[in-house]
Structure 1
């Protein structure tokens, strides 16, 4: 459920540059500090400085402290208390609530910050890069740390958007409004908070937080310092050893740390296209399909077996692609992501059908012969589905070998091979000829479902 769907806003949020978040789940974006630094949104013009002021105060307290037991140190620890800001609906969390900073982790961060500051390093940006040298600092926690500091700015921005869109008690009497005027998220029970799109980005750190190589490779200054010190040995180290090295020999070394921080301060990041994230893009497509009248619930489906149910689901997408301009969306998607987009689209869109009919759908289940795209099942009744685009060079291998291997691994003879034609008539003809010949020779074959996703001319151009 997108916030735009919940309030019936159509595409107003997109036009205003406001992030259209999913209310009942987190989207995998984050408030990016470098984007926040250059934002021209009035409410966030001072946000980056607010963050640096906050961390400067903590660094000053730590620098003035004589030990980890005195009052100044304890005051710094109390000041560093990131909260869970669930209303922004960002992160990798699969639950309703994100990953908070517990007391143990807070103590570890402040302890390491103290050691770094005592080396004469007072850059507040140290805290912005904390995930490089701290274990268990993941994207949700980093996002919480940032959003906690700029929470007043987020609230001010949210209230302005609510006013401009007339999201008030008079127009939305069924919504719950808090005393401060913010609207309660019906799925999470927290407030609904708005954010401008231009401060969001994919976090430039891998989803798996044990792997920091991507960050290092993208930060020229850190990469240079590492290459000069240890060269090729870096690739052989475990992630924990890498973080320990960065902490001890980069961030606790005044000269190296200064060079890294100065380079980081000069870095810039272009505005991110949210549609590059496959999951978010697919969720938006599901919203478009619903608006076009595509329904995901079929009557009397409980009487159907897994094969019939799988055909039902696939035909929903065949109709959308061929008759509701879905072909245009597929054609315009980034070529290397098209197949994954289709797979995710079928999986996500099928959930309503599946859950309403006592079925189960597994996305890329692996029974030992590699992952098939889908498996629809009800108990021991299983149907496997493999999807290939006509642009995929493995389209024949998928039909002739993969489907059968997967069916043996899943102990089922119910197979569907989906071939989506994007304008490769030679491959389409070759596939259908092989399929027809196999049927004529009584060879076991999967059900072949062809979907035409070639570009279509406007209806007005056809002659009568």
Structure 2
């Protein structure tokens, strides 16, 4: 169920927030470059706020002198441990917004990136992506997690403004990493009023749709390609660069560390490139509107059988699968599975089936929650998705 659906909000063109699907993550990510483009209003100072955070980390690392036992180093480690910002419902989790965040391994790599940058004489980080460039182990989801954590106070204020405008009820929650304190160099958790995500009974935080993208921006792979195209004459003398076209990301990050001037030019080139958010309305990759598309399939192919007792569940599964097959094969639903000049990924058929099942069950008052004693194993919805993936191969 989407945020607007649950809270019965009639959206208008003036509403710029992304209408979150609350039970699971949407495979989109907050791109900090898109935030920087806001030069007016409440987001105008967001870039400086994020840069101030990393300057605080830089200062601690410099004070530590590389001594991992020092107070400054330990404090910088705490700052660079980012919990999963589940409140945003963004990322790669299929069955729940509750992800894993950045672990100790990534924390260590980020610290190494800061240490390398300070060793190269950099006293501040112009872009947080520089850490990814120099350490090589950070995926786009972790970059988004970092942005959401560091700027969480901005997103909280934004969400509260949306809720007040639409009279959405809010509850007081304990919010992890609600803000950070520069004087004490630490994260601050605090109580905040936010709307509830009924799927997990936890707080929900909204983001402007214009901040969301599907792909990463600054990466070792991107640096490699850019440097090869733009700086090849300067770098061809480096045999490793000249012959190692398919090396691991960490090796590419090593090249960036060894050529900080080229890395700076790469980041500047990225800054000057036009940045386009993911086109949510057109949704070319079916990352967003699979839920509505599945609802339409279910409406066009109503169930011919509704279970009345537990023993009927097997037949119910068969009928649901057959209705979905009928929608796809006999009612032009196949067109949804066809993108621009090519077929969509298998996960799209699984997502459409998931949505169809959600709406079939909701219409017939059938409980779709996972088994209570299944732990982290598959619930009924996951079993059904597996069945349809087997049937549609």
TM-score range, shorter chain: 0.7 to 0.9
Alignment of 1:412-431 (within 5 A): none
Q: 1:259–1:331: structure 2 CA closer, same or farther, 3 Å change rule?
A: closer
Offset of 1:21 from its aligned partner? Answer: 1.0
Moved more, 100-109 or 41-50: 100-109
Offset of 1:263 from its aligned partner? Answer: 2.6
Query: Could you tell me which residue of structure 2 aligns to residue 315 of structure 1?
Result: 326
Question: Are 1:234 and 2:244 matched, yes or no?
Answer: yes
CA distance in structure 2 between the partners assigned to 1:32 and 1:302 by the alignment: 44
Query: Could you tell me which residue of structure 2 aligns to residue 155 of structure 1?
Result: 156
Query: Could you tell me which residue of structure 1 aligns to residue 290 of structure 2?
Result: 282
SS class of match (1:114): helix
Offset of 1:271 from its aligned partner? Answer: 2.8
Alignment of 1:69-148 (within 5 A): 69=68, 70-94=70-94, 95-125=96-126, 127-134=128-135, 136-148=137-149
Describe the superposition over 1:94-143 as per-residue Cα deviations: whole angstroms up to 9, x where unpaired.
34422223345323321331133112133414632333443653333222
Offset of 1:201 from its aligned partner? Answer: 0.7
SS class of match (2:135): coil
Offset of 1:80 from its aligned partner? Answer: 3.1
Describe the superposition over 1:197-223 as per-residue Cα deviations: whole angstroms up to 9, x where unpaired.
0111113279xxxx964x346x62475
In 1, are the aligned partners of 2:136 and 2:250 still within 8 Å (CA)?
Answer: yes
In 2, are the aligned partners of 1:28 and 1:91 still within 8 Å (CA)?
Answer: yes
SS class of match (1:26): coil
In 1, are the aligned partners of 2:300 and 2:327 still within 8 Å (CA)?
Answer: no
In 2, are the aligned partners of 1:314 and 1:346 still within 8 Å (CA)?
Answer: no
CA distance in structure 1 between the partners assigned to 2:337 and 2:84 by the alignment: 40
In 1, are the aligned partners of 2:84 and 2:145 still within 8 Å (CA)?
Answer: yes
Greater Rg by CA? 1
CA distance in structure 2 between the partners assigned to 1:25 and 1:318 by the alignment: 28
Pick from 245, 266, 278: which aligns with 1:260?
Answer: 266
Pick from 186, 208, 211: which aligns with 2:198?
Answer: 186
Offset of 1:336 from its aligned partner? Answer: 2.7
Offset of 1:255 from its aligned partner? Answer: 2.6
CA distance in structure 1 between the partners assigned to 2:50 and 2:141 by the alignment: 17
SS class of match (1:144): helix
Describe the superposition over 1:2-23 as per-residue Cα deviations: whole angstroms up to 9, x where unpaired.
112211225x166512101111
Q: 1:334–1:348: structure 2 CA closer, same or farther, 3 Å change rule?
A: farther
Q: Which runs of 5+ in 2 are unaligned?
A: 174-190, 369-379
CA distance in structure 2 between the partners assigned to 1:118 and 1:283 by the alignment: 49
Moved more, 160-169 or 63-72: 63-72
CA distance in structure 1 between the partners assigned to 2:66 and 2:324 by the alignment: 64
SS class of match (1:180): strand
Offset of 1:177 from its aligned partner? Answer: 5.0
Q: 1:72–1:331: structure 2 CA closer, same or farther, 3 Å change rule?
A: closer
Query: Could you tell me which residue of structure 1 aligns to residue 371 of structure 2?
Result: none
Query: Could you tell me which residue of structure 1 aligns to residue 251 of structure 2?
Result: 244
In 2, are the aligned partners of 1:132 and 1:243 still within 8 Å (CA)?
Answer: no
Q: 1:9–1:55: structure 2 CA closer, same or farther, 3 Å change rule?
A: same
CA distance in structure 2 between the partners assigned to 1:374 and 1:166 by the alignment: 41
Offset of 1:385 from its aligned partner? Answer: 4.2
In 2, are the aligned partners of 1:216 and 1:223 still within 8 Å (CA)?
Answer: no
Structure 1 consecutive aligned stretches of length 4 or more whose deviation exceeds 6 Å: 338-342, 354-359
SS class of match (1:181): strand
In 1, are the aligned partners of 2:220 and 2:256 still within 8 Å (CA)?
Answer: no
Query: Could you tell me which residue of structure 2 aligns to residue 347 of structure 1?
Result: 353
Calculate the TM-score normalised by the size of structure 2. Answer: 0.72
SS class of match (2:194): coil
CA distance in structure 2 between the partners assigned to 1:165 and 1:53 by the alignment: 33
Aligned length: 347
Query: Could you tell me which residue of structure 2 aligns to residue 68 of structure 1?
Result: 67
